[in-house]
Structures are given as structure tokens and as C-alpha cells.
Amino acid sequence: MNWTEIRPLNGSQNDGFEELVCQLANKELIPNKKRFIRNGKPDAGIECYCVLNDDKEVAWQAKYFTSSFSATQWAEIDSSVRTALDKHTLLTKYIIAFPINPPDARLPRQKSMREKWDEHVSKWKNWAAQKNMSVEFVPWWESDIIER
């Protein structure tokens, strides 16, 4: 796939990627799924989510970042996570989709994207714990999206 040529929605490739992620999310086999909800904008940190039979939530966020993330992009992801934790107090799983596979070169004195992901997940889990929440953070990398 050439993600830079994804079909736009409403004139926006970002919106096109978000729609693709939401359509794939709606097709996921989620145990105890009661209903699926697609958000418009603003989205409270999530594009779509499933409400489970116990009213807990599984949510998706799409980030149309096609290369290794800049500090600004990491801050944007952090902001989405923080907003989702603030607005969706029944959240138990937060899936973030990206049209890239994470580099993991393991070069001396340099953190790979995968290592940065792991560090951010630790930070997000701490944010959730401060709200008495237990949230699993799962990436959907490029290969995960293509598989779906």
C-alpha cells in the first residue's frame, strides 16, 4: 500500500485514514460487544469505540503519520490519550492505528520508535492508574492494518 495516496474523505487523506480504521474496527470480533459508535469531530480522543455488555469500552484512535514520529506528533498522541482517559472513564482498551511499521534499528545512543512507543505506553498506564483505570494500549501498525 502507498499510504500517501490513500483516498481522501471530505478532501482530507487524514479523514480517509480515520474512516478506514473505523470500518476495520467495526468488523473486529470483540467479545461481549453491545454496540459500535463512530464519532464525528471533535471526538474526545477517539474516532470510534465499542461498548461492551458490562458498559466498558474499547476505543480506536487513528494517526495518519507516515514516517517516524516527531516530538510534535508524540505530543499529539499524548494529548489524544489524555483526552480519552478524561472523557471515557470506562475505557479498558485503547487501540492507536498508524500507517507505518515502527523502525527498531537498535543503534547506539539512539532510541528506536519501538522503544519510544514502549516508554509512552508506560506513561499512559500511569496516567490511567492515577484515575483508577486499567487500560491496555495496543498499536495497529501498518502490517496489522493490511492484515485486517
C-alpha pair distances (Å), 12 with each of 9, 16, 29, 55 = 5, 6, 28, 33
Q: Is the pLDDT of residue 58 over 90?
A: yes
Q: What is the grid cell recorded at 6?
A: 490513500
Q: What is the dihedral of CA 35, 16, 120, 76, to 10 degrees?
A: -110
For the whole prediction, is pTM greater than 0.85? yes
Report the pLDDT value the prediction gives residue 42, as an integer from 0 to 100. 81
| Whole-number Å distance between alpha carbons of 40 and 33 | 21
Q: Region 48-71: what's the mean pLDDT?
A: 96
Q: What is the grid cell recorded at 99?
A: 500507517
- Per-residue pLDDT of 119-135, as tens digits, reads 999 999 999 999 999 99
